Structure 1
Amino acid sequence: MDPSAVVTPPYVGGPFALAPFHGLMLAPRRIGDPASARVLARPYDTVPERLRSWEASGQLLRDEQAALYLHEYTAGGITVRGLVGALDVSRRAAGPGEAVVLPHEGIHPAQADELADRMTQMQLNPAPILLVHHGRDETRRLLSELRSEAPVHDFTDRARQQHRIWAIRDPDRLATLTAELAGTRALIADGHHRYSAYLRLQRRAPGTAYDRGLAMLVDQDDTPLFLGAIHRLLAGSRFEDVRAAAETVGIGFAELTHTAAVEALGPDTLVATDQQRWAALAVPSRVGRLAVEALHEQLVPALPRGPHRIDYLHSAEEALAAAGTGTGTAVLVPAPPVDTVLGIVAAGRLLPQKATSFQPKPSVGVLIRSLLDG
């Protein structure tokens, strides 16, 4: 297989289940501190020893009782809450129609292998993958009741994220959550390669701690993650190349002023610029298709020159700064609606690479799962 190939990750079968685990957490004063990254850095096979040393010195906290955790964090004025637990990945679904975890982009097998090997050496799931779903009223009621109680942790980390964490151990609450979540279908918001690494580890050692992988489940109707766009720089492709490709494949191309072009950006409209000229690209409207799909499936293959590569920029400012007659053409992409993404993946389609940007993500080190605890 071509090591650069992108493939569809396997699908996990139901019921959806998050199991309690023994949470590890860096001491609050270490979370968000770039220097703390060294505890999870190479060589990975010495990470367990380093963690034991950090625990002995009070820089790592270990929960002696297994729990599900409700983790609330606030960053940049956005508050997100999610249930953190050990996601059951031991069952496979035949296709997306039976899947309870839905990937929306492909993965590079070599990268998934590398992450699986790294987790084996570290004996850790170092951070939860992020999942989003539409939660149920009873689940929200139970978690609201929980939040009226004192959290087990309440702190602001070195990156200025605010965190509150509740541990859920009560058998009745756990049983209710198990029943409530059983029918969940969740979209992967962040962590496609780590998710694929979980599945590879499970295949290597079924019936062990590898039957589960650390995940955070966010109710998008309660505290939604912000879903933004990731813009493109078509390196080596000129503005005229984009015009020619658009005309070839039937995408409308209207050269406009800077202001008019940016104002035209919308669900069925892309914006292209080399910083000297600006254009709105009207993608033929089709129910259930995103503009970024037309960009990669129609426009890019029709370019008469390049791109030598495609760069992915998380802000319009970064994309525009990179564009120029000597570098390439920036393409601004509209943010996709979550329900459209869910509909696409439920139908068995994947989006192009880096089509979504779910934000904010929690700081690393708040909740870690040891694979030595089962």
Structure 2
Amino acid sequence: MGTPELPVPDGLVLRPFRGVRFAVEDPAKVTSPPYDLISDADVEALLDSHPNNVVRLILPCSTPGDSSSTPHHAPEPPAPHASRPEVTSSTTHHRPSAQHTPEPAASSNHAPAETSRTTHHPRSAHTAPEPSAPPHNIPDTTSPTTNHPPSTDYAEAGRTLKEWLAEGVLVPDEVPALYVYEQSGPDVLQRGLIGDVGLTDPAQRIILPHEDVMAGPVADRLALMSTTQANLEPIFLLYEGDNGTATALVDEVAAKRRPLVTAHTEDGLTHRLWAITDPAEIAVVNADLHHRQALIADGHHRYATYRVLQRQEHATAHEPGISDSSTSRHDARRPHESRTNAGGPRETRADAGRTNTGSPTTGAPTTSGPITGEPRTSRPDADTPTTKEPSTGSASAGGTGPWDFGLALLVDSTAYPPDLKAIHRVIPGLPLSEATERARSFWQVRYYDDLASGLAALDSVPEPAFLLAGEGGARLLTDPDPVRLARAMPPDHSDRWNSLNTSILTEFVLPVVWGMRDDERTVRIVHHDTEAAARLAVRTGGTAVILRPLAIEDVLAVAAGGERVPRKSTSFGPKPRTGLVLRTFAID
């Protein structure tokens, strides 16, 4: 059976949704960093901070056939929902309560993980099998009718989500909204909008990926989203908004209105959340966004997962015996349609009486993309159906469902320029001495006794250059053999792509110099922290490869040309905090 035609937005669409939020006294304690920045030690600390921390949903801790390994605690009494007052918090730690032993690692303050979890969570090794498509084609070629059985971990996440909704730990907002989200702290201020972004094919040049994805993490997140029928954490999108009307409204709301939530997390940031529910204001936002392009800054694997899930759900809706109004295929895994808690009965369906307050205008001309400066040439044909109507919780032929959208934070990079940091590699089992000796035939090598001296030298030399660190100090690689380098770089990529340090690492250093591939089985990932990378290298008898951040203009140019930088090339920040607002398909 062929894949049914998917609804195609004719521009950048950010639809309001009924957010699901924690009704606890201290919201910071139930939040977490994004799932791929959490080590096992961090899981312990997060569960220590609050038994209902969102990490129990995004990285469930149970093992196959033994749900008891995830601690179950009586929920904190919910805050009254009727008035939903402003909540202010600061994160503190209590006596450990989690029932599992953390892996050795990382830091206790939620610093970037010194493990490979940034590419594939260890507990997910038994999850759904990997899609068979090449990694960069996962969203388009994975069979939409193959529903992989979820793991016990994700079944536990689904049960936990239902329990928390039933008990009032999680409570849906009464009306659909776009959410203004602010992160502030020392030298940090970022504001944006959280909503349902309409899903598009990269060929449409509306939402631009800039990194390849890998099959394992997509299968992992697909198992979680399919089982929970929810988007539990937003992806991070950037657009060049030129301080337009959407940004002006965001700043006005942040300056003049009372926030729904104020949370002070232990990384020194303050997070605030407001709801925009006025249909006229939502229309203003979408009119401003409609002709713009967005770059995926963080969340490539989750965006790819959104699109795989979209194809699966539409295929399921077209199966014989499944009516348009039927939701029976999800009854076993969706939250209840209505709940009763301490605050009384709650209607949790968004369907009744909902109007399309956030539809963009149609017929906008093709314009230069603000992010890239290049025209969007691959646009849907005039007779292609466009995404205009809100979800009713199920998909009909040619219609839309909640899986035609994905939870996203959208930030105007003109008003709030992103912080782009490097992601470092660690190769366990490759001692620094051996890595250096192999590199000597291809690179000029300088020797340093300590990491600090090596880092200072790295900052003073032109690209391409890499700092190796491990047992015995640091080694700076510069001035590669030009003939061997040129021979290693793929001729079907642009000169700009071939000049990126992550491209040279992936195509030349790892396979040619060291005889290995840059994949999640061989190479460990460490975000930002050079000292953490060096420690991990020493602990694993390996070598850390320290890189400088890519230039933002290079990333944008590569994306504009339809190329993808190698995996884990960029770390844009500040990343949205997980747990401030969730999205479930039944409530959306």
Task: Tell me which interval the TM-score lies in, with the shorter structure as reference length.
Answer: 0.7 to 0.9
Once the two structures are TM-superposed, the CA of residue 223 in structure 1 deviates from its matched residue by 2.7
The aligned runs of 1:1-374 (5 Å cut-off) are 14-27=10-23, 29-33=26-30, 34=46, 35-37=51-53, 40=57, 41=60, 42=153, 43-55=156-168, 59-74=169-184, 77-89=187-199, 91-93=200-202, 95=203, 98-138=204-244, 139-157=246-264, 159=266, 161-206=269-314, 207-243=400-436, 245-249=438-442, 251-256=443-448, 258=450, 260-266=453-459, 268=463, 269-282=465-478, 287=496, 289-304=499-514, 309-314=522-527, 315-324=529-538, 327-374=541-588
Evaluate the alpha carbon distance shift between residue 194 and residue 209 of structure 1 in structure 2; reply closer, same or farther with a 3 A threshold: same
Evaluate the alpha carbon distance shift between residue 129 and residue 155 of structure 1 in structure 2; reply closer, same or farther with a 3 A threshold: same
Residues in 2 aligned to 1:172 and 1:50: alpha-carbon distance in whole angstroms: 36
Residues in 1 aligned to 2:523 and 2:178: alpha-carbon distance in whole angstroms: 40
Residues in 2 aligned to 1:178 and 1:346: alpha-carbon distance in whole angstroms: 23
CA contact (8 A) 1:227 1:357 kept: yes
SS at match of 1:272: strand
Aligned amino acid, residue 344 of structure 1: V
Evaluate the alpha carbon distance shift between residue 309 and residue 372 of structure 1 in structure 2; reply closer, same or farther with a 3 A threshold: same
State the structure with more CA Rg. 2
CA contact (8 A) 1:27 1:61 kept: yes
Residues in 1 aligned to 2:279 and 2:189: alpha-carbon distance in whole angstroms: 28
Aligned amino acid, residue 130 of structure 1: F
* Higher share of residues assigned strand: 1
The alignment yields a C-alpha RMSD, in angstroms, of 2.9
Evaluate the alpha carbon distance shift between residue 124 and residue 326 of structure 1 in structure 2; reply closer, same or farther with a 3 A threshold: closer
CA contact (8 A) 2:262 2:271 kept: yes
Residues in 1 aligned to 2:215 and 2:431: alpha-carbon distance in whole angstroms: 33
CA contact (8 A) 2:236 2:576 kept: no
CA contact (8 A) 1:283 1:294 kept: no
In structure 1, what is the equivalent of residue 35 of structure 2?
none
Identity %: 28
CA contact (8 A) 2:469 2:544 kept: yes
Once the two structures are TM-superposed, the CA of residue 256 in structure 1 deviates from its matched residue by 4.7
Evaluate the alpha carbon distance shift between residue 109 and residue 13 of structure 1 in structure 2; reply closer, same or farther with a 3 A threshold: farther
CA contact (8 A) 1:47 1:122 kept: no
CA contact (8 A) 1:13 1:99 kept: no
**TM-score of the pair, normalised by structure 1:** 0.84
CA contact (8 A) 1:227 1:335 kept: yes
Query: Structure 1: any 5+ residue segments left out of the alignment?
Result: 1-11
CA deviations 1:226-265 (Å, max 9, x no partner) are 221111222233445444554555x443335545532222
CA deviations 1:344-369 (Å, max 9, x no partner) are 12222222222222233333210111
Aligned amino acid, residue 36 of structure 1: N
CA contact (8 A) 1:13 1:92 kept: no
